[in-house]
Structure 1
Amino acid sequence: MAPAPSETAAGVPHEGRPIARIRRVLTTRAGGRSAPPYASFNLGDHVGDDPAAVAANRRRLGEGIGLGPDRVAWMNQVHGTDVAVVESPGQETPTADALVTDRPRLALAVVVADCVPVLLADPHAGVVAAAHAGRRGAADGVLPRTLEAMTELGAEPARVEALLGPSVCGLCYEVPAAMRDEVEARLPGSASTTRVGTPGLDLRAGLRRQLIGLGLSRVDADGRCTFEDDQLFSHRRAQPTGRLAAVTWWEYARP
């Protein structure tokens, strides 16, 4: 099974304690049906891979996490800031860059190959979200909009936990100086210098700073760089290529 789990147990439910156990899964390239150059656990259905292979990979993911493929929600990502609320399995796939739900055992998936996948959860309210934060979406505010949608479902920023998944790091993400300065002005903390001394972006650093500024007290990161780690997909390293997935859902905590 390809996914490499990264889970957080939210705790035992009683007064003042979380009601939900938060689940998170991050996948790698290994263990799927896709042929090169998408080898092999590609979960992106928009990159030119054989649709049958992608469907098989998505089924394997759903079965591997114990929910079944019908209980994993996907989105058509467009590097924007739209947020969709998922209310039931089998809901039509939205065009959005973040998904939010308050329904138990309903997984939300984001796919990336250098952009930052962000998984958010309020275990007290039973609200989770998965967001796609690439350069444009991050600078345009996809995460503040995601938190607003979570708040409308009962979440409180001070209780929200965040995981920033694998992405291209600030030492590898080279951009023109004008682009770095523009993103830094809109997402402070994201400007970086690459290992060869050129202008760069560290979106994880900027997003972490933004989330803390929005009131989150727990912001963790998977520090792997997609460009450097050949077990992960990277659009900057090879084109065409597949997409890894970051998935989250919640279950009622056991008493």
Structure 2
Amino acid sequence: MDIGLSSKVVLVTGAASGIGRAVAERFAAAGSRLAIADINEDGLAELGTRLGGETLQVGLDLGDAGSCAAAVTRTVERFGRLDVLVNAGAVIIRQPLAAVTPEDVERIMRVNMAGPLFIARAAGEAMRRSGFGRIILFSSQGAHTGGYVGSTVYAMSKAAVISLTKSLAREFAGDNITVNAVAPGLVDTPMIRRDVSEEALARFMDMIPMARIAQPVELANCCLFLASDLASYVTGHTLDANGGQLMR
């Protein structure tokens, strides 16, 4: 079934690993033309080589508004337009509340809250010119629960993304641009494997009715839906994908 993604121009941030990488791979498989962006340029180059074709690689610092605008500009210069933005890039610093410093808060908020604002703003302006767009941001289950395992500030930043999604959806609704968010529960990514012990993972799985953590491709599929013609009347929505954990 054609869901309207073939030849669409898609910019994916955080594409070097984890969910962002899976998102890029799924859109490539759907026939989209890709710009992949990340601060990790080595990981980006490896993915770009594997995807091949006309994939554009863009170095991006989500914590810098100018870098966000430049990523959109480069995408439009290369492909002539931008149809879909998926902002999967983020940063987390796991630490006890007592250890949180003002510098930690500033860094997390700059990347996870200001970054989505500035890249979505730039993307929305480009989409306005062509009269079509899909913007997909990433929140987190922690936005609803307050987070786990030393992630207070991260959860706070991801709660802001839900509000941002609604604000942007109102801003762009008259321009045929939808804005939605995906809020994952625990996902099997390098970040989780690095930061969370096997014992903690086991405790998490005890709280999930489906008794497993998500694979990145399952979150990528959520993005595919929200970017597709199937979701043409969905905007301002946060799609929770957590294996039923929020029911507990």
Structure possessing the higher relative contact order (Cα contacts under 8 Å, 6 or more residues apart): 1
In proportion to residue count, which structure has more strand? Answer: 1
On whether the aligned pair clears a TM of 0.5, the verdict is no
TM-score (norm 2): 0.41
Structure 1 or 2: more helix by fraction: 2
TM score, norm. by length of structure 1: 0.40
